[in-house]
Structure formats: C-alpha cells, structure tokens
Amino acid sequence: MSTSTPAGARGARLGLGVDIGGSGIKAAPVDLAAGHFAAERVREVTPQPATPAAVAPVVAQVLASFEVADDTPVGITFPAVIQHGIARSAANVDDSWIGTDAEALFADALGRDVLVVNDADAAGYAETVFGAAKGVHGVVLVTTLGTGIGSALIVDGKLVPNTELGHLEIDGHDAEKKAADAARERHDLSWSQWAKRLQRYYSHVEDLLWPDLIVVGGGVSKKHEKFLPLLDLRTPIVPAQLRNDAGIIGAASLAAAAAGRDPREV
Ligand code: BGC
C-alpha cells in the first residue's frame, strides 16, 4: 500500500476518520473545516471472524497509509453501543466485542489516543455539521438503513449518543429486522412493500420524539426517490448528503470536538 500525504490540504486542519464496517475498514484524512476528505480513502477487508484481536491490527495497517501528525484527532466508528469508549452491544458484530474497551484496544494498536463512537452517531453528527441537517435547530434524527438501522439524535447541534432506535420493539419485532435495507433484500421486497414497513417505523419514531427533521442515510439512500416519496409523515424527511463518507467525516469531527476544537472553526 502506498503512503499518501493529504495533498491539496496544506494549511487546513486535519482529522483522521476510520469506519469499521461488517465488510470493510475504511479511513481517510478529513479537512475539518470543509467537511470532506483531504486525500483518497483507503479500504481493507474486515477480517472474519471480526474479533477485537483481529480487527485492531487491520485498523493500524489502514492508518499506516497516512502521515498523521501527533496532534491530529483520530476518530473510529464501530456499529455497536459505545459508552465512553467501551462496546456494550453486538447486534450485527462479533459477540466478543461486548465489554471490550475499544478505545484502549485501538490506542494500544496505534500508539496514540483515539475516540471510538457508534457508527450512526458519527454519520449523524457529520450530516448535522456539514450535510443535510446543517443549520437546522431543534431535534434532528438521522437514521442509517443498512444491515441494521442506526440512529443519531442531535439536539441543537449536540449529539445524544447511543439512541439505538433501530432496536425499538414495534408490533412485537426488533424494528431493524423488519425495516432495515437488509430486510428489503432478504425478503426481496418491492419498494412499495418496503415503504410500508418504513412508514410503520418512521411514524412510530416521530410520535416518540417529534423531531424537526429526519435524515435518511445508508447506502440505499442514494435511491431515495424510490421510497421517500411513498412515506406520509408530519416530519420533513430528506436523504443524507454525505452518504458513505459521513462515518469517516463524523468520526474525525467528533474526535476534534472531544479534543476541544469546534470542527467548523479549526
Ligand atoms: C446497532 C447499532 C448500529 C446500527 C447500524 C445496529 O444493529 O445496534 O449500534 O449503529 O446497527 O450499523
């Protein structure tokens, strides 16, 4: 793998974001003021089984592709509840993550401090600072539709972490098992059949939270015109703008914010 320097970003404040997913581990330097990648993204295949011991060296390998200054904030996303750096759930990941101090694990593997956050929280934060919910005050709910349903709740720009609204029990079922994009694929649902399930899900969520805006992310959001117009909600619902980049951009931005820097003013 070649060493890449963040060309074209001279003078910009950089962060580094890493997105750990079920199939790939992706990373890129992020221009924290502009909210976009400062160099091309690097991707490695997620090892299977994706245990902490197997994943940590791959994250280190991905990071080694970049020249990262000692004071560059590094944020890492993981698809589980992450409470103060510790993984607390494992809906679609290896069970051995539960109770793992992910921040200590990666700090050890990388030889530097990192921030570890839930994947949807990172993506949602990025959409709020740089994307579809930029400048929106009040209660913003960002959902990601993929293998599961991820959720991020942002209130006046402040993230309320680990809302896990994909696991609401609706009609006796774990909501994501019925309404995630993986359920659409698994059951070969038409767009209108899937939209009925999304309607049930989002109307329940809007009754619970009364958000000002709902943002829909995840890979399928690039086909938003196939299903968003079929939904009848009182809340405005819009597609995400940063798409696949949101996790990496959000992780880097949250790491910068945790280090006391406003990502928009660095
Ligand atoms: C997990 C969440 C995650 C979401 C999207 C859910 O199954 O519980 O932590 O954010 O999937 O990856």
User: Do 221 and 239 form a contact (C-beta atoms < 8 A)?
Assistant: yes
pLDDT score recorded for residue 260: 85
**Annotated domain spans of the chain:** 5-118, 132-240
Cβ(150) to ligand 1 under 6 A? yes
User: Do 52 and 100 form a contact (C-beta atoms < 8 A)?
Assistant: yes
What CATH architecture is 5-118?
Answer: 2-Layer Sandwich (3.30)
Reported pTM: 0.94
Residue 121 CA, closest ligand 1 atom number: 10
Going from the Cα of 141 to the center of ligand 1, the distance in angstroms, rounded, reads 15
User: Do 56 and 106 form a contact (C-beta atoms < 8 A)?
Assistant: yes
Is residue 9 very low, low, confident or very high in pLDDT (cuts 50, 70, 90)? very low
CA distance 27 to 42: 5
pLDDT score recorded for residue 15: 98
**Fold matches, 5-118 and 132-240:** yes
Cβ(77) to ligand 1 under 6 A? no
Q: Atom 5 in ligand 1: which residue has the minimum CA distance?
A: 150
Q: Which two tokens stand for residue 118?
A: 């839930």
User: ∠ CA 75-265-219 to the nearest 5 degrees?
Assistant: 45
Cβ(73) to ligand 1 under 6 A? no
Residue 5 has pLDDT above 50, yes or no: no
Going from the Cα of 80 to the center of ligand 1, the distance in angstroms, rounded, reads 5
Chain segment 193-210, per-residue pLDDT in tens:
999 999 999 999 999 999
Chain segment 219-247, per-residue pLDDT in tens:
999 999 999 999 999 999 999 999 999 99
Going from the Cα of 205 to the center of ligand 1, the distance in angstroms, rounded, reads 16
Which residue spans within the chain are E strands per DSSP? Answer: 14-20, 24-31, 36-37, 42-45, 74-78, 82-83, 86-87, 115-118, 139-145, 149-155, 158-160, 169-170, 173-174, 213-217, 237-239
Going from the Cα of 108 to the center of ligand 1, the distance in angstroms, rounded, reads 25
Give CA 259 to chain center in angstroms: 19
* Residue 128 to residues 11, 119, 131, 214, 250, Cα–Cα distance (Å): 24, 14, 6, 11, 9
Domain 132-240 has CATH 3.40.1180.10: no
Give CA 47 to chain center in angstroms: 20
Cβ(79) to ligand 1 under 6 A? yes
Ligand 1 pocket test: pick from 121, 164, 165, 167 the residue with the most ligand atoms within 8 Å of its Cβ: 164
Q: Atom 6 in ligand 1: which residue has the minimum CA distance?
A: 148
Is residue 174 very low, low, confident or very high in pLDDT (cuts 50, 70, 90)? very high
Residue 101 has pLDDT above 60, yes or no: yes
Q: Which two tokens stand for residue 165?
A: 């609204």
Going from the Cα of 261 to the center of ligand 1, the distance in angstroms, rounded, reads 27
Cβ(218) to ligand 1 under 6 A? no
User: Do 216 and 224 form a contact (C-beta atoms < 8 A)?
Assistant: yes
* Residue 35 to residues 16, 124, 172, 245, 258, Cα–Cα distance (Å): 12, 13, 40, 10, 16
* Residue whose token pair is 């890449």: 4
Residue 6 has pLDDT above 50, yes or no: no
Ligand 1 pocket test: pick from 142, 176, 201 the residue with the most ligand atoms within 8 Å of its Cβ: 176
Q: Atom 10 in ligand 1: which residue has the minimum CA distance?
A: 150
